[in-house]
Structure 1
């Protein structure tokens, strides 16, 4: 039998890709120019440019990336650059609606004119407070007011005097009592008492009664005229007040108009203000008896507050469009709110208590929102979609929506909305919204998908060095030496999980720089050195490694059974990854297989007890396909096999252990032991090809740590898929051990390559007749399966014979 080539350990240079320091020609990063944080994001940048420039409705942006938090600064910087060239949007104010105060009027003003209008109205009110009282204290007003009062008094006195003279002529007195007027006969200048009246002759009494009745009718007519005279007096006084107010107010209003002659809406409002001032001049004038009333005041407010201007948002004419990021997108913070003031047991409000939301502040520009935060706030997502669909901002309150209380509220005019909303979120969140919300695609038609990594090609390391320098400067950190930058670059490749990539998760890189700067300052260094970066990485790992250390301890104390030497049949060291927050680590797990004659079923014990996920179950089912394709021939495989992750007490998912499971299964069938000083990771397809998996670095290091703690023998190592070799960025201690021949990493392309390494025996290839060479692993497997088939047929024959 021809000897098969044995896979050789990977050389050290393939276990890590060091930074090319020759490309980093600088003394410190202080010499490097800043770079746009959008480096390597040409696709996302083009999407953002398109989304910000197209004006059709619904073309808002959803920006996605693996770490949305790191997108904020890059996206904000890009939007601010575009916003500077855009025209500034209108200022918006709310004004009192004198006709219907519960419906304040929204008014748009040119950019920057809102504060001037607000200040002009405040100045007008202050001037009115001084001018109107003086006008009512003037001699002309006082004399005309006195004349009206005197005319009213004379009219009353003339009417009563005529009635009094007529009554005196008829010997009747008009007497004023606390309850009004009464008439009584008089004799000799004195009122006739009732007993004296009764002693008079009947004819005289009848005559007096007739006279008194006639006079009572005339008195009643006079008294009925008094309210009309009073009304006329009040009307004259009101007319006088209006005329006086018009004179006093007119020139002040004209002065205010002069500053806004180009704004018809403002002029119309000033006319309404003038009309309301004249109509309600009593708000400013000293109260005169019968003078103009102060009706229509805002509840609980000072009388002059009705003329103020609520400046909602303002923009400087030259500052461009606004870029607003709302970190707490509650309903009120998004669409605005109407505040209330408690007064005498009730909650009252007016137009001055209308507060802007993020949509108001960003109107005419860009609004950045965290998608997860928006979805986490009650009513906010629905309100955002409603505003975008209607093209207007209508202030809504959660209290009103839920009808929790009954308060005096307002219905402000809605404000037209023209804003680009930019949502930041994870990719999965975008896909979920697209799948479950039918309105989502209507409002967010542009996807800006940020790349997670940058290709590590010629020139990219120098470019990334500038990115590191930029992030450090923005955080106010010490400059980095070239060696420190190189170590950051290598860490960036490790974070990307690929030696040919550099992570674009700027936030993680920034955190590393902050911690490295801390250690540099502790040593009173003027720059960040490679040792500082190395220590920062080590400290990050140390803080998060408690669980990893406990897992390793359980293996070293032989609580969790893992062999790192010797050989065993049907037993292999599989490798898995545990992901705890921001920390990942690999842990070895013993996988075992048992076989017997059966109906061709491979039992996944994890699946049977509902601890195995669908991906793991798929991997096990693939093993059946492999066995059938290689060994079934014309007859079904007569096998009953069981596979299990030993001492696994949690869920198992993923197919990265399927190659290890296949090794264990073939070992059990061939009764050939597998090396326990090797660990295996990688998935397998039905043709026996080993496929790439994730977390290769962590898995290798996890098995290395156990072997190193027990003592490296020089034969220990890890089998990884050949496709994963390009991803390797192993720790320095692992690379050094491999370079010294004390540990090994093997790149495996097929199950046969791995099986030869694990068993130390030839695997054997089938000849033209489908037979395998004598003594090969495949021949042993095939012979065992044939024996299982004969045993099964014999058992079935006995069963049929017994049944007959």
Structure 2
């Protein structure tokens, strides 16, 4: 190709301002392109079209070329393609408290759910103690306690009567154990008075006491069974009272979140766990109570707190600019 010389006039183009379509550049829409970077723009467009995981864009070049500006423009331009945004929450896994459960919720639902649970807990912290501090609960609990006491008293009176008919007294030792003692009229036999009895009388007392002790052991076993049954009835009463309170407050929450199966399942487990651990709401004194309510606001029991890890307050796809992209900045850390 032959070399062709150009004159100065050919190298200079005169712009006629009158021919421009505007009087000022303020009237023009901003250019959404990077001038002179067509190949770079095509590369970024191609990278943005890749939907698979594991791909990254790395832009390198001299300062001032517009690398960040171009990447941010394309990110904002393509954000409408990422329509599915989610909130990510951690809640307690009541089957294994060491491995929390993850809730993947639509954008904005996580924060609302956290607030609703806090409101629920605030209501329960007031309502549950009141349910256990009224005459209706006291009367039901006292009725069960009196039934047990009457059975125990009847059995003790019966074995005491049988012993008395045989001139034997049922006493309680200083250690709290029951003991049968042979009687000498209205007084207990002393060692000397018992030795003064005939051999036949001594054998009578020994044999009778052995028989009564067998009956006493059977009675103690029966009393233990009654006490276990009483404990179960009291637990059933406490469970029913707690469930009545929770059901009243949690019913509306289940309706509000009926289209979120994960939340519905969690609310059911939450209700069951509160019934099983109602003492958290009743005992707010001592070390156990302090540990149970060790939350940031000191009011919400920690095991029922909803921890929102990622909150999408708007429908816009988030674009995060990290000025110092070291390991901790990118992956985080635990203090």
Determine helix, strand or coil for the equivalent of 2:172: strand
Q: CA deviation at 1:236?
A: 0.3
Instruction: Please give the per-residue CA displacement for 1:444-467, whole angstroms capped at 9, x wherever unaligned.
Output: xxxxxxxxxxxxxxxxxxxxxxxx
CA distance in 2, matches of 1:121, 1:145: 31
Q: CA deviation at 1:210?
A: 0.8
Determine helix, strand or coil for the equivalent of 1:150: helix
| In the alignment, structure 1 residue 139 sits paired with structure 2 residue 135 | yes
Match of 1:308 in 2: 305
CA separation of 1:172/1:86 partners in 2, compared to 1, >3 Å: closer, same or farther? same
Match of 1:461 in 2: none
More helix by share: 2
User: Does structure 2 conserve the Cα–Cα contact (< 8 Å) formed by 1:88 and 1:315?
Assistant: no
Q: CA deviation at 1:69?
A: 9.6
CA distance in 1, matches of 2:174, 2:48: 82
More strand by share: 1
CA distance in 2, matches of 1:202, 1:253: 75
User: Does structure 1 conserve the Cα–Cα contact (< 8 Å) formed by 2:144 and 2:234?
Assistant: yes
CA distance in 2, matches of 1:298, 1:68: 56
Q: Equivalent of 1:124, from 111, 120, 132?
A: 120
Match of 1:51 in 2: 47
Q: CA deviation at 1:336?
A: 4.4
Q: CA deviation at 1:60?
A: 2.6
Q: CA deviation at 1:338?
A: 4.7
Match of 1:72 in 2: 68
Determine helix, strand or coil for the equivalent of 1:39: coil
Match of 1:250 in 2: 247
| In the alignment, structure 1 residue 81 sits paired with structure 2 residue 80 | no
Instruction: Please give the per-residue CA displacement for 1:570-618, whole angstroms capped at 9, x wherever unaligned.
Output: xxxxxxxxxxxxxxxxxxxxxxxxxxxxxxxxxxxxxxxxxxxxxxxxx
Instruction: Please give the per-residue CA displacement for 1:273-293, whole angstroms capped at 9, x wherever unaligned.
Output: 111112222222369xxxxxx
| Structure-to-structure mapping, 1:488-503, within 5 angstroms | none
User: Does structure 1 conserve the Cα–Cα contact (< 8 Å) formed by 2:34 and 2:66?
Assistant: no
CA distance in 1, matches of 2:95, 2:328: 27
Q: State the aligned residue count.
A: 308
Match of 1:215 in 2: 212
Instruction: Please give the per-residue CA displacement for 1:159-204, whole angstroms capped at 9, x wherever unaligned.
Output: 1111111111111111112321211111221111222212222211
Determine helix, strand or coil for the equivalent of 1:211: helix
Instruction: Please give the per-residue CA displacement for 1:35-78, whole angstroms capped at 9, x wherever unaligned.
Output: 55733222212221221222133443222223499633442243
| Structure-to-structure mapping, 1:268-287, within 5 angstroms | 268-285=265-282
| Structure-to-structure mapping, 1:491-570, within 5 angstroms | none
Q: Equivalent of 2:151, from 150, 155, 160?
A: 155
Q: CA deviation at 1:332?
A: 4.7
Match of 1:259 in 2: 256
Q: CA deviation at 1:317?
A: 4.4
CA distance in 1, matches of 2:89, 2:275: 24
User: Does structure 2 conserve the Cα–Cα contact (< 8 Å) formed by 1:133 and 1:286?
Assistant: no
Comparing both chains, which one has the higher relative contact order based on Cα–Cα distances under 8 Å and sequence gaps of 6 or more? 2
Instruction: Please give the per-residue CA displacement for 1:650-699, whole angstroms capped at 9, x wherever unaligned.
Output: xxxxxxxxxxxxxxxxxxxxxxxxxxxxxxxxxxxxxxxxxxxxxxxxxx
Determine helix, strand or coil for the equivalent of 2:58: strand
CA distance in 2, matches of 1:93, 1:40: 45
User: Does structure 2 conserve the Cα–Cα contact (< 8 Å) formed by 1:94 and 1:104?
Assistant: yes
CA separation of 1:337/1:237 partners in 2, compared to 1, >3 Å: closer, same or farther? farther
Match of 1:100 in 2: 96
CA distance in 1, matches of 2:218, 2:114: 55
Q: CA deviation at 1:22?
A: 6.9
Question: Structure 2, unaligned stretches of length 5 or more?
Answer: 1-7, 18-23
User: Does structure 2 conserve the Cα–Cα contact (< 8 Å) formed by 1:133 and 1:284?
Assistant: yes
Q: Equivalent of 1:233, from 230, 240, 254?
A: 230
User: Does structure 2 conserve the Cα–Cα contact (< 8 Å) formed by 1:136 and 1:286?
Assistant: no
CA distance in 2, matches of 1:261, 1:54: 36
Match of 1:169 in 2: 165
CA separation of 1:218/1:327 partners in 2, compared to 1, >3 Å: closer, same or farther? farther
User: Does structure 2 conserve the Cα–Cα contact (< 8 Å) formed by 1:96 and 1:105?
Assistant: yes
Larger radius of gyration: 1
Q: CA deviation at 1:103?
A: 1.1
CA distance in 1, matches of 2:151, 2:16: 106
Instruction: Please give the per-residue CA displacement for 1:330-366, whole angstroms capped at 9, x wherever unaligned.
Output: 5454344455xxxxxxxxxxxxxxxxxxxxxxxxxxx
Instruction: Please give the per-residue CA displacement for 1:218-244, whole angstroms capped at 9, x wherever unaligned.
Output: 122222233322211110001011111
Q: Equivalent of 2:184, from 168, 187, 212?
A: 187
User: Does structure 1 conserve the Cα–Cα contact (< 8 Å) formed by 2:293 and 2:301?
Assistant: no
CA separation of 1:272/1:331 partners in 2, compared to 1, >3 Å: closer, same or farther? farther
User: Does structure 1 conserve the Cα–Cα contact (< 8 Å) formed by 2:87 and 2:311?
Assistant: yes
CA distance in 2, matches of 1:253, 1:299: 20
CA separation of 1:21/1:205 partners in 2, compared to 1, >3 Å: closer, same or farther? farther
